[in-house]
Structure 1
Amino acid sequence: MPLNPLGLICAIPNEIQHFGSAFVKNSERLIAGFSFYSGKLDGVETVLVEAGMGKVNAAVVTTLLMEHFKCRAILFSGVAGGLDPRLGVGDVIVGNKLIQHDYGMTVDGRLMTYQPGHLPIHMPTEQLGYDVDLNLIDKIMSELKEFHLPEISAEAAGGQKRQPVITAGTILTGDQFIGCTMARDKLYNDLSGLAVEMEGAAIAQVAERYKVPFLIIRSLSDLAGEESTMDFVKFLEETAGGAALVLRRIINIV
């Protein structure tokens, strides 16, 4: 009996284009204004869709992938802003936990991040974020141990070409583009996020409801701070390919 397809989401065309001829399209279906492309990615049955940016778009597309295509797992490939000062542009994060950093309760002018669907005053919970299956992460990181991404240009690397790092860690999600060093440092210190983006944890929330695995892979296009807007535009094309290459390497594991 054939396996159900994987669902593969990207937010913007710059992220999708890096799959190139590796994705062989068989058919296209338009649902709610989104184009879903059924085909094979490196021989694996896959439904590919461009969601647009933000948590709502990501949640809608994930739901449609489950309801109309019965996907057995949901994957995301794209770029993010870096939070961990030890990481650089071009490094790739495999999310082992996804947290919505902009959901919670404001107290004394400060947002207390909390689990979506809960508040301390109603349905309290100890859970924060959505964890990826640990065995899956272990298999992926083992597969990637001997895998090397192309060097990042000297301009993107801040001086000299460098080999991008691939690591697993927490990815934060919110409907905000972080262009502020103070906000970046707060997110890193408060939630231990390695990267910040606008879709991943919404995908995770829906996938958890449907009880299917999910995996978010992000390459750093910028280091979320005052220069991030310019760096995002400048390095988007070069860096988005890193996440796509990592995803293609591990697609048979999911």
Structure 2
Amino acid sequence: MAGQPLGLICAIPNEIQHFGQAFQLGSEKSVAGFSFLIGKLEGVETVLVEAGMGKVNAAVVTTLLMEHFNCRAILFSGVAGGLDQGLGVGDVVIGSKLIQHDYGMVVDEQLTTYQPGHLPIHLPTSTLGYDVAPALIERVMTALVDFELPEISAAAAGGLARTPVITSGVILTGDQFIGCTTARDRLCAVLGGLAVEMEGAAIAQVAERYRVPCLIVRSLSDLAGEESTIDFMQFLEETAGGAALVLRRIISLI
């Protein structure tokens, strides 16, 4: 493991820009149309890349990080929609389990989610999702106990500026932007998701194949309801920075 870098993925420019001058660029390499920035983040050898949105982009870039850069772990920093209504815009969720919510079987107009590659009629399994090592989550959350993020503005917080919460739990992944309270509430109730996004569980699936750890850090840019498209655009810049700050705090522990 000595000498192997970490791979750090963001989906969009609004997420990757928050690493700014904190990332010390050494060199750059282009592979399959993706630009991989090779350098150091908080003194840790890191390969930073903007993948684009969606599960396929995330899986391709994760594979390239392993095959071309021999990364020892894969990290993601970015935004997500909030599913648990106990959380608010700006709060940060660190994924302890990643589930692809849009893979499964539709019967009577309802989707039952299954583990990718499995269905009850073909290679059935009771496994659902990709678990992050509990020891890693405990180590990370312990390091964040006294870490305080900057206040979220009153506009983003729904009236009063507040300090974001940092928590861990289930993050759901699918190639859908959730802007529907009915879908949001179902995903939270059925799959126990705290947040929903478009890349994390695909990264986790590839990382499991390569037998390397992964860690997904997400700031909530919206609450996955009917106002989500407006909130996402309005609060994206402000909230994406929270995930980057958390990741910078814990990167030396990975």
Aligned to 2:100: 100
Distance in 2 (CA, whole Å) between partners of 1:180 and 1:161 is 25
Cα pair 2:42 2:252 within 8 Å, conserved? no
In the TM superposition, what whole-angstrom CA distance separates every residue of 1:46-70 from its partner, at most 9, and x where no partner exists? 0000000000000000000000000
Unaligned runs of 5+ in 1: none
Instruction: Give the aligned partner of residue 121 of structure 2.
Output: 121
Q: Which runs of 4+ in 1 moved over 6 A?
A: none
User: Could you say what secondary structure the match of 2:160 adopts?
Assistant: coil
**2:140 equivalent in structure 1:** 140
Matched, 1:63 2:63: yes
Distance in 1 (CA, whole Å) between partners of 2:238 and 2:156 is 9
Q: CA deviation at 1:42?
A: 1.0
1:195 aligned residue: 195
* TM-score calculated relative to the size of structure 2: 0.99
Question: What amino acid does structure 1 have at the position aligned with 2:20?
Answer: G
Distance in 2 of aligned mates of 1:70 and 1:2: 11
Distance in 2 (alpha carbons) for counterparts of 1:209 and 1:235: 35
Q: Is there any run of 5+ residues in structure 2 with no aligned partner, and where? A: none
Map of 1:213 onto structure 2: 213
- Match in the other structure for 2:17: 17
Q: Which residue of 2 aligns with 1:72?
A: 72
Measure the CA separation in 2 of the matches of 1:163 and 1:240.
15
Report SS of the residue matched to 1:194.
strand
| Shift, 1:3, TM fit | 2.4
The Cα shift of 1:2 comes to: 3.9
Matched, 1:182 2:182: yes
RMSD value over aligned CA atoms?
0.7
Q: For 1:74, what is the secondary structure of its paired residue?
A: strand
Find the aligned partners of 1:101 and 1:42 in 2 and give their Cα distance: 34
Which amino acid in 2 is paired with 1:97? Answer: K
Q: Distance in 1 between matches of 2:214 and 2:42?
A: 19
Q: Which position in structure 1 is the counterpart of 2:5?
A: 5
CA displacement, residues 66-125 of structure 1 (integer Å, 9 cap, x when unaligned): 000000000000000000000000000000000000000111111100000111111111
Tell me the residue number matched to 2:41: 41
How many residue pairs get aligned? The number is: 254
SS of 1:252's equivalent in the other structure is: helix
Q: List per-residue Cα deviations over 1:209-237 (Å, max 9, x = no partner).
A: 00000000000000001000000000000
Amino acid at match of 2:59: A
Alignment check: 8 A CA contact 2:171 2:196 kept: yes
- Which residue is 1:26 aligned to? 26
Secondary structure of the corresponding residue to residue 184 of structure 1: helix
Match of 1:89 in 2: 89
Which one-letter code corresponds to 1:233 in the other structure?
A: M
Which secondary structure state, in structure 1, belongs to the residue aligned with residue 79 of structure 2?
strand
Counterpart of 2:150 in structure 1 is 150
DSSP-derived class of the 2:193 partner: coil
Q: Which amino acid aligns with 2:52?
A: G
